[in-house]
Amino acid sequence: MWVLTPAAFAEKLLSVFRQPLSSLWRSLVPLFCWLRATFWLLATKRTKQQLVLREPDETKEEEEDPPLPATPTSVNYHFTRQCNYKCGFCFHTAKTSFVLPLEEAKRGLLLLKEAGMEKINFSGGEPFLQDRGEYLGKLVKFCKVELRLPSVSIVSNGSLIRERWFQNYGEYLDILAISCDSFDEEVNVLIGRGQGKKNHVENLQKLRTWCRDYRVAFKINSVINRFNVEEDMTEQIKALNPIRWKVFQCLLIEGENCGEDALREAERFVIDDEEFERFLERHKEVSCLVPESNQKMKDSYLILDEYMRFLNCRKGRKEPSKSILDVGVEEAIKFSGFDEKMFLKRGGKYIWSKADLKLDW
């Protein structure tokens, strides 16, 4: 773009006034047009520069702070998929036999503690299957003694637990949750909890006694399904007196208990919401009952698999993140699908340390 310099402007003006009066007006008209166009171009250029200078500030104002990563307050570590039972509705099946070396598992647990973990729950598969419970016991002790976690818990079917384990590791365990879906042994066999001559219900009574003797808080987990939905468990639950009775609605997970690549076919176990609500109504007098419908369970658990990968269930199947051992907790948890608000809404955080429970042993 051309712009008049002071010298050029003076020369142009002098050339105009040297002309005769008759042609002066004809010369001034194009000069005025030239001047108008020149100053309009200068003004346009200056405006564009001001807009460019303002753009970064305006963009900065519109940017929102990225959401903070979720805190792994309570983590469910399924360190093995192997199990000695064959529950038809199982949603974490024996797709691999992999178990991390003990020191690697400890390294991952330390990373979780540094990221804010307060409670660890060990599950499977059946967690007592690995090294007859020794692997699990060492992890429990590590979490309580070295990591000083407020709560360490286990979910087990109870069939492989021996009193010696309580003698060695009971002091480091806050809560033992035993899976019991029925107090009718025939129903347990139908579900897949049959163990030959062993009686699942009788074993439950024995474990309850050991928990009292070794000062471990006792909890019961039940999955309500087609075979037990009409059962009334009020009397038995009250007699066992667990600190919590978690009652789950049978849940389908593609690739685990439904779909082409699944190891289970759980469709025949599924009940609808109304049936689940009727079961809850039947047991409304049980004060320790904690119901969890499919909706409450959805995305409200932080699940860590045998490779220490978070499992995202938002699309109805388990999609793993990268392992926390490779990328760290903060990066891996972004892909966990964890809904922290739903975790709190379903009562995921409660008094979970036996030191705070003030139980009458």
Bridge partners for 170 per DSSP: none
The pLDDT of residue 209 is above 70: yes
Does residue 162 fall inside a structural domain?
A: yes
Mean pLDDT across 142-163: 97
User: 143 in a domain, yes or no?
Assistant: yes
Q: Using 50, 70 and 90 to split pLDDT, how confident is the model at 49?
A: low
- pLDDT at 13 exceeding the cut of 90: no
> Does residue 60 surpass a pLDDT of 50?
no
The mean pLDDT of 48-53, rounded to a whole number, is 48
- Can you give the residue range of the structural domain that contains 188? 72-348
- Asked if 356 and 119 count as a contact pair (C-beta separation under 8 A), the reply is no
CATH of the domain at 145: 3.20.20.70
Number of structural domains (the chain) is 1
Kindly name the residue from 83, 211, 258, 313 that is annotated as catalytic: 83
Rounded-to-integer distance, Cα 296 and Cα 298, Å: 6
- Which of these is catalytic: 33, 87, 143, 211? 87
- Tell me whether residue 359 is in a domain: no
Q: Going by C-beta distance under 8 Å and a sequence separation of 6 or more, which residues neighbour residue 146?
A: none
* Residues 176-204 pLDDT 10s: 999 999 999 999 999 998 777 778 888 99
Residue 26 confidence (pLDDT) above 60: no
Q: Which residue has the higher pLDDT, 7 or 282?
A: 282
Distances (CA, A) of 253 to 83, 200, 317: 18, 26, 5
Asked if the structure places residue 357 within a domain, the reply is no
Q: Is residue 22 part of a domain?
A: no
Tokens encoding 300: 């409200």
Which one has a higher pLDDT value, 198 or 287? Answer: 287
Whether the pLDDT of residue 284 is over 70: the answer is yes
How would residue 53 be classed by pLDDT, with cut points 50, 70 and 90? very low
**What does the pLDDT read at residue 268?**
96
Which of 142, 263, 144 minimizes the C-alpha distance to 192? 263
For residue 284, give the amino acid letter: K
Distance CA 173, CA 144 (A): 8
Mean pLDDT of the chain: 86
**236-240 mean pLDDT:** 97
For 233, residues 6+ apart whose C-beta sits below 8 A from its C-beta are: 182, 183, 222, 283
Choosing from 33, 90, 180, 258, the catalytic residue is: 90
* 3 pLDDT tier (thresholds 50, 70, 90): very low
**Is 259 inside a domain boundary?**
yes
Q: Which residue has the higher pLDDT, 264 or 36?
A: 264
Q: Cis peptide leading into 125, omega within 30 of 0?
A: yes
Q: How confident is the model at residue 281 (pLDDT cuts 50, 70, 90)?
A: very high
Q: Which of the residue ranges 38-42, 106-110, 243-247 would you say has the lowest mean pLDDT?
A: 38-42
Specify whether 211 is catalytic: no
> What number is the average pLDDT over the span 211-234?
97
Residue 43 has a CB neighbour count (10 Å cut-off) of 10
Using CA atoms, how far residue 248 sits from 80, 121, 302, in Å, is 22, 17, 17
Q: How confident is the model at residue 54 (pLDDT cuts 50, 70, 90)?
A: very low
Q: How confident is the model at residue 37 (pLDDT cuts 50, 70, 90)?
A: low
- Please give the structure tokens belonging to residue 94: 């024996």
Percent of the residues in the chain that have a pLDDT greater than 70, as a whole number: 80
Mean pLDDT of 106-129: 97
Q: Does any domain span residue 192?
A: yes
- Is 87 a catalytic site residue? yes
| pLDDT tens figures, 76-90 | 999 999 999 999 999
Residue 253 contacts residue 91 (beta carbons within 8 Å):
yes
DSSP code at position 86: -
